[in-house]
Structure 1
Amino acid sequence: MDDPRLTNPTVPSTAPTTRDGTLARVSLLPWALFLVTLAAAAFLAWKLWQPEDIGDPLATSLVAFEKQDKLTVFSAELAPVVSSDDARLFGLVKSKQVAVIPARVDYTVNLAKVGRERLAWNAPDQTLTVRLPPLTVSRPNLDEARAQYLRDGIWISREAQDKLTRDNTRLAEAQAVQQAANPVLMELARGAAKEAIRQNLSIPLQVAGYGKAQVVVTFDQ
């Protein structure tokens, strides 16, 4: 007689595994349907509420400029060192004064000169290019209250001292103008201007609906 253990080998059942997989697929189905429904609803809502025209980016930028006339973008503290000589009584009485007079200069951009012709909008890239007029450097503001003086002379009259001070003030202002035009300071001021303009225009563009807008700033050559 055949051994039933040989003719009927035990085969491991795969039913539990198949059932678990089926249950897993069935349990994911409601979530998948929910996500599809949510995505469809979101798309329909976006199409319903999306404005057909979110505005002219150039007009938006010009409005932002109109709110500001001249924009101060950079300030520099300078310290001109100057000296003046004075001679009186046929050159017999000589005096000299050395002065260090702190000065401040401001670098500004005249936004009133920025019209539509200085703006360019690249719609595919959402890039706004702005061409600014040259920077304007203010007249130096001398702080004579903090000035330091060194005088040399056997005798310095009041008239001679006043003349030395006036001459040093004039020389300090002229020297401050030269220092303000230093290429290093001018480059720092241009960099500050570009950053200020980018910040001033990026926010209005984002509010107008251009969330990915970029602003590129250049200067007249």
Structure 2
Amino acid sequence: MARALRAWPAALAIGIVLAFALVMWIGWQRYDRDYVVTTEDDGSAVTQIIAERFAGASSLKVSELSGTIQSTARDVRGFGWLRSDQVVKMPFSVDYFIDASKIGPDDLEWIEGSRTLIVNAPDVTVARPNVDEARRTLVRTSGMFVTRQAGEELSRRTSAHAQGKALSVARSPERMAQARENGRKALGRLLGAPLAKMGYGETRVVVTFPSERPARNTEQWDVTTPVNQVLAKHR
């Protein structure tokens, strides 16, 4: 017993050392990924992918907004004496998705009389804008003296302003309405196909989004049947 008690502090110390080493290793991995520049033998920087992740997706792309965006930024330094401005034009795109994995049996309802499939879908989501700075068509920087730090800050600000503006336009009521309409068509094709193969070729697919659905009235919805029961009966 005494020997086990004497061994406990040693085991604890080893555990602490191992945990510290793990934290240091993770920290170094992140530092190497984000800050260390990989170079060739001659010292020139190498273009390479530092870290990559690949994941499956269950979202259905329903729309894409694309075009050209103009972004501006201003930088002031030297107690207000050094002012510089930058105007950039570059292409951008924004994707719209519906997470089809969130549509379960309870979200699909069947009205036999009118052969209508009702789909209570999740709302359309807007992805992060993709601003293609590599294809800039205009970069105009003005100022009496633009330092390297000012130039870097201007570039960062124009990029951030472009991202914000593109996202704001993509989320506008008009664009969201258009994306939802495209979402209805995409879900109609996706969910109507299996019914057509089973002999329900005249099926009408009605897609609703959360903002369009009133409070559920149980008396009204008693006339519907879960679609999985319909398919099971057909089989």
Match of 2:127 among 138, 160, 177: 138
Residue 93 of structure 1 deviates from its aligned partner by: 1.9
Give the secondary-structure state (helix, strand or coil) at the position aligned to 2:117.
Answer: strand
Match of 2:177 among 169, 183, 187: 187
Q: Find out whether 1:197 has 2:197 as its counterpart.
A: no
Distance 2:91 2:172 in 1: 17
Cα distance in 2, alignment partners of residues 114 and 139 from structure 1: 23
> Quick one: distance in 1 between partners of 2:135 and 2:204?
44
Question: Of the candidates 137, 141, 158, which is equivalent to residue 151 of structure 1?
Answer: 141
Alpha-carbon displacement from aligned partner over 1:148-186 (angstroms, at most 9, x marks no partner): 221111221222111100011111111111011112211
Percent identical among aligned pairs is: 35
* Number of residue pairs matched by the alignment: 154
Contact kept? 1:78, 1:176, Cα under 8 Å = no
Structure ranking higher on relative contact order (CA contacts 8 Å, 6+ apart):
1
Q: Which runs of 5+ in 1 are unaligned?
A: 1-67
Q: Secondary structure at the match of 2:94?
A: strand
**Structure-2 separation of matches of 1:219 and 1:191:** 10
Correspondences of 1:99-178 after superposition (within 5 Å): 99-147=88-136, 148-178=138-168
Q: In the alignment, what sits opposite 2:21?
A: none
Provide, for residues 95-117 of structure 1, a one-character-per-residue CA deviation record: whole Å limited to 9, x for no partner: 11112232211000001111111
**Root mean square deviation, CA, Å:** 1.5
Using the alignment, how far apart are the partners of 1:90 and 1:79 within structure 2? 35
Task: Return the letter of the residue paired with 1:155.
Answer: F
Structure 1-normalised TM-score? Answer: 0.66
Letter in 1 for 2:103: V
Does the CA contact (< 8 Å) of 1:81 and 1:98 recur in 2?
yes
Determine if contact 1:131/1:217 at 8 Å carries over to the other structure: yes
Contact 1:78 1:179 (C-alpha < 8 Å) held by counterparts: no
Structure 1 or 2, whichever has the larger Rg, is 1
What secondary structure does 2:166 align onto? helix
Structure 1 position 83, deviation (Å): 1.5
Give the distance between the partners of 1:195 and 1:153, measured in 2 at CA. Answer: 51
SS for the counterpart of 1:97 is strand
TM-score by length of 2: 0.62
Deviation of the 1:119 alpha carbon: 1.1
Superposed displacement of residue 213, structure 1: 1.4
**Partners of 2:144 and 2:66 in 1: how far apart?**
34
For 1:171 and 1:208, how far apart are their aligned partners in 2?
Answer: 51
* SS in structure 2 at match of 1:170: helix
The match for 2:228 is: none
Structure 1 residue 79 displacement after superposition: 3.2
